[in-house]
């Protein structure tokens, strides 16, 4: 910081560092709120969406950290993490839908009840 006419002036680089640290802190707080939603969510879709948002925020945090530390290798890690997060959500959704399909198939239908004379 340098003084100019009694006013403290911050360097642009230091201002960027503070901005990125505040952004990381904000993202961290929102990750914890999504974690609570994932734990408390009444439906499976709430939990899946929360996990997806946590993955997206983690990618954003890794990208911010890459810029803050001036490390290009972290961007590669962020891209790989994004792909793994996407695949995890797809697999979770497929498992849920498969389980739901099997449970629905095992339930007697109205047609079966009508054929047997039950109502």
Residue-wise pLDDT for 65-113, tens only, equals 998 888 999 999 999 999 999 999 899 888 888 777 777 777 665 655 5
* Tens-digit pLDDT profile for residues 20-37: 889 999 999 999 999 999
Look at residue 58 in the predicted model and tell me its pLDDT: 94
Please give the pLDDT value at position 36: 93
Q: Residue 32's pLDDT is what?
A: 95
Q: What pLDDT score does 100 carry? A: 73
CA dist 7 and 31 (Å) reads 37
Q: What is the pTM of this model?
A: 0.71
* Residue of higher predicted confidence among 99 and 115: 99
Q: Domain-by-domain residue ranges, the chain?
A: 2-115
What's residue 60's pLDDT?
A: 95
pLDDT value of residue 83: 95
Of 44 and 87, the structure prediction assigns the larger pLDDT to 87
Which pLDDT score is estimated for 31?
95
């Amino acid at each position: 910081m340098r003084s100019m006419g009694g006013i403290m002036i911050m360097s642009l680089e230091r201002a960027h560092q503070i901005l990125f640290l505040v952004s990381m802190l904000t993202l961290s707080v929102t990750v914890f709120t999504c974690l609570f939603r994932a734990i408390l969510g009444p439906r499976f879709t709430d939990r899946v969406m929360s996990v997806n948002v946590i993955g997206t925020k983690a990618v954003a945090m890794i990208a911010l950290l890459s810029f803050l530390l001036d490390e290009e290798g972290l961007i590669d890690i962020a891209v790989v993490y994004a792909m793994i997060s996407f695949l995890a959500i797809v697999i979770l959704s497929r498992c849920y839908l498969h389980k739901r399909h099997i449970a629905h198939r095992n339930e007697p239908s109205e047609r079966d009840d009508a054929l047997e004379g039950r109502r």
